Amino acid sequence: MGEILLPLLILSPLAASLILFVTAGRMSAYAVGTVACVSMGISAVISVVLSVLLLSGPATGIVQATLWPWMHIAGFSADIAFMLDRISMVMILVVTIVGLLIHIYAANYMRDDPGIARFFGCMTLFVASMLVLVLASDLLCLFIGWEGVGLCSYLLIGFWYDNPVNTAAARKAFYMTRMGDAALLCGMLLLATAVGSLDIGAVLAAVTNGQVTSSAVNMAAFFILIGALAKSAQIPFQTWLPDAMAGPTPTSALIHAATMVTAGVYLIARLHDLFDLATPVMALTAVLGALTILMGACTALVQSDLKRVLAWSTISQLGYMFLALGCGVWQAALFHLMTHAFFKALLFLTAGAVIVRTHHEQDIFRLGGLRHTMPGLTAAFVIGASALAGLPLVTAGFYSKEMILSGVWPAHFRLTHELILSGHFLWGMALLGAFLTALYIFRCVFIVFFGKSGTTMRGQTSRFMTIPLGCLCVLSLCGGIIEMPTTFPPLHLFSALLDPAASHSHADEPGWLILAGAIVPLAGLGVAWVLWGRPSPVMREIPGQAAVIRFARTGEGIDMLYDRLFVQPFRFLTWLTRHDILDYVITGTGRLARTASTSVLRARTDFLGTLALWGTSGIRGADRLLGQIQNGRVRWYAAWIAGGLCAALAMAVLS
């Protein structure tokens, strides 16, 4: 049964996408929304059924569906094949359920847009690609989904193509992820060369069996890491994600929460056996993740655009996941991925609802006091913010973050014999990140929802939009209790789900770690209240000159830097070389040939003139002689005949 359901799971959104594209512009907005939501609903149901199937089976059981051979050739083979195991099960649940909620929301949100069919076509395609990515049992097959999400994100970010800024943002997203894709492709090529197949199971088996040299493993891991970094907008590829806010809000929610950016995390989690063998790459992952946490948080702190704050927060949160992956606790990363999907979707959708009702006002400083006019949305946003900040006990974010922090603490990387990178240091950075997270998200909360009201409102958030919000609220609050720190009741549902065989002994974990993790977000909340929350806030506007703020803007600075370093020179160089150099060369040769022909013509008048010049005067210029001598003279022709005779005789003499 699973073999049938697995393709169906992907087929459902794919079919919806096809229907929507083919009938573009012929269906009513309502029908479009219905088709999209129904297809998503079907896949959600299927994914639940599949999960039940999988969980009812043995612990290591998988559902596999090999559809058809893709490329079979000497030395390499690949199939179109799908596989469901525990890791992908988590992913499909997240993708389909969160996706379904977002779709329901979007059906209402995009109701009036003329391009709604295109929108939902892309959205469903997006989900389908993500499902392919998640379910693929073959890296090459995964790559289809991998590029597919990139393409869909491009189409969705640039959805409102009237504005060049949007399309530029879309292209930027595609280019940057494409660079990562190229690297990923290289990694895949390396693995394919070494293993002869890209089937994930086969690859991992070959790697763990030691069939692949360690340098190859390191290189492959490195290449794949680059791909993942680009897809997940980590340092140094982080700049595309904030710009990607140009798309409609549900798109942002989908990109940030359920699909696209989580692909990188998923990929590394999926290949964790490979990464475990590549210590330097793991260290790099962890360090980059930690840096991204801080960088994203700092930048989020100084943003004035509501959606941008959320975007940078996504980057920062993804940093946590990469930190966890780098430290080898990929279960924690996946857990955080799940909870993050819940609360980030909630935050985005709420923000979208707010933005719609405030006439597309996104500047947080022009908003304010919204809690009076829209209490429901305020509650939802606060719940999301709490989960993001990881307020202890009541939110899902707390548990997942706690799992990461506890996983990071004991990690250490033996890079060389002397150089050992300790997890404690990374833990400190993560903790600092947690503080900043609370600070910036509550800054938003306080500025937008508290204080004086700044803008006019309109309408009411419709019912179809509130239902998903409600669901997400619940999930954000309660989604975390399935996995608890060891000091709490030993509830390890999630880890057990993923890795039933693993033992959970975090005995060496000091108890104060949990405490620190719990207190820090609260401290952040407090500081935020002190700075922005009180009736007369300490910092109402951004003090742009403050050195610390400027430092915190590095996220954007890097964007500028890339622009100067890569984009502008590229543009300039392409502009310079817009004409084909070789073409010039050839044309020049042609001109040369024509000159040669002219000189051949002139030669018959020049020859004797030159001889006479040498013989007689040597004083008078050749020019005057040339002037006297014209073409078409019999005597010169005769002279050439005589000359030819002379030359022929001379050749005979000399030979």
Distances (CA, A) of 62 to 4, 134, 139, 267: 14, 14, 17, 18
In the complex, the smallest distance separating the C-beta of residue 423 from other proteins, rounded to whole angstroms, is 33
> Is the N-terminal amide bond of 236 cis, ω within 30° of 0?
yes
Single-letter amino acid code for the residue at 350: T
140's tokens = 């090459």
In the complex, the smallest distance separating the C-beta of residue 147 from other proteins, rounded to whole angstroms, is 5
Which residues 130-169 are close enough to bind other proteins by CB under 8 A?
140, 143-144, 146-148, 151, 154, 158, 161-164, 167
In the complex, the smallest distance separating the C-beta of residue 650 from other proteins, rounded to whole angstroms, is 6
Residue 247 — left, alpha, or beta (φ > 0 → left; ψ -120 to 50 → alpha)?
Answer: beta
Are the C-beta atoms of residues 452 and 427 closer than 8 Å to each other?
no
Calculate Rg over the CA atoms of the chain.
Answer: 33
Site string for other proteins, 169-198 (x = CB under 8 A): -xx--xx--xx-xxx-xx--xx-xx-----
Which residues 483-522 are close enough to bind other proteins by CB under 8 A?
none
Q: Is 68 one of the binding residues for other proteins (CB under 8 A)?
A: yes
Interacting residue with other proteins among 359, 414, 591, 633 (CB under 8 A): 633
3-state secondary structure at position 70? strand
In the complex, the smallest distance separating the C-beta of residue 175 from other proteins, rounded to whole angstroms, is 6
Q: Angle, to 10 degrees, between the axis of helix 330-357 and the axis of helix 463-478?
A: 150
Q: Is 640 one of the binding residues for other proteins (CB under 8 A)?
A: yes
Which residues 309-368 are close enough to bind other proteins by CB under 8 A?
none
Alpha helix segments (H runs only) across 113-163? 116-135, 139-157
In the complex, the smallest distance separating the C-beta of residue 630 from other proteins, rounded to whole angstroms, is 6
Distances (CA, A) of 114 to 118, 357, 489, 509: 9, 19, 53, 56
Alpha helix segments (H runs only) across 245-305? 249-253, 261-270, 272-276, 279-301
In the complex, the smallest distance separating the C-beta of residue 389 from other proteins, rounded to whole angstroms, is 37
Instruction: Give the residue with the Cβ less far from other proteins, 530 or 649.
Output: 649
Which residues 404-423 are close enough to bind other proteins by CB under 8 A?
none
Element (H, E) at 421: strand 420-422
Which of 432, 438, 405, 414 has its CA nearest to residue 513?
405
**Pairwise CA distance, residues 637 & 499, whole Å:** 99
Q: Is 26 one of the binding residues for other proteins (CB under 8 A)?
A: no
In the complex, the smallest distance separating the C-beta of residue 380 from other proteins, rounded to whole angstroms, is 33
In the complex, the smallest distance separating the C-beta of residue 213 from other proteins, rounded to whole angstroms, is 13
Q: Is 651 one of the binding residues for other proteins (CB under 8 A)?
A: yes
In the complex, the smallest distance separating the C-beta of residue 616 from other proteins, rounded to whole angstroms, is 5
Contacts of 519 by beta carbon, 8 Å cutoff, 6+ apart: none
Which residues 544-583 are close enough to bind other proteins by CB under 8 A?
570, 574-575, 577-578, 580, 582-583
In the complex, the smallest distance separating the C-beta of residue 367 from other proteins, rounded to whole angstroms, is 29
Interacting residue with other proteins among 15, 70, 363, 470 (CB under 8 A): 70
Contacts of 589 by beta carbon, 8 Å cutoff, 6+ apart: none
Are the C-beta atoms of residues 220 and 271 closer than 8 Å to each other?
no
Interacting residue with other proteins among 4, 538, 539, 649 (CB under 8 A): 649
Instruction: Give the residue with the Cβ less far from other proteins, 488 or 570.
Output: 570
Interacting residue with other proteins among 7, 61, 428, 643 (CB under 8 A): 643
Instruction: Give the residue with the Cβ less far from other proteins, 170 or 267.
Output: 170
Mark the segment that binds other proteins (CB under 8 A) among 57-65, 74-82, 240-248, 377-385.
Answer: 74-82
Secondary structure in 3-state letters for 590-630: HHHHHHHHHHHHHHHHHHHHHHHHHHCCCCCCHHHHHHHCC
Single-letter amino acid code for the residue at 391: L
In the complex, the smallest distance separating the C-beta of residue 653 from other proteins, rounded to whole angstroms, is 7
Instruction: Give the residue with the Cβ less far from other proteins, 175 or 464.
Output: 175
Which residues 597-626 are close enough to bind other proteins by CB under 8 A?
597-598, 600-601, 604, 608-609, 611-612, 615-617
Single-letter amino acid code for the residue at 311: A
Q: Is 592 one of the binding residues for other proteins (CB under 8 A)?
A: no
In the complex, the smallest distance separating the C-beta of residue 384 from other proteins, rounded to whole angstroms, is 32
Instruction: Give the residue with the Cβ less far from other proteins, 463 or 579.
Output: 579
| DSSP bridge partners of 428 | none
**Pairwise CA distance, residues 209 & 331, whole Å:** 23
3-state secondary structure at position 365? coil
Instruction: Give the residue with the Cβ less far from other proteins, 154 or 532.
Output: 154
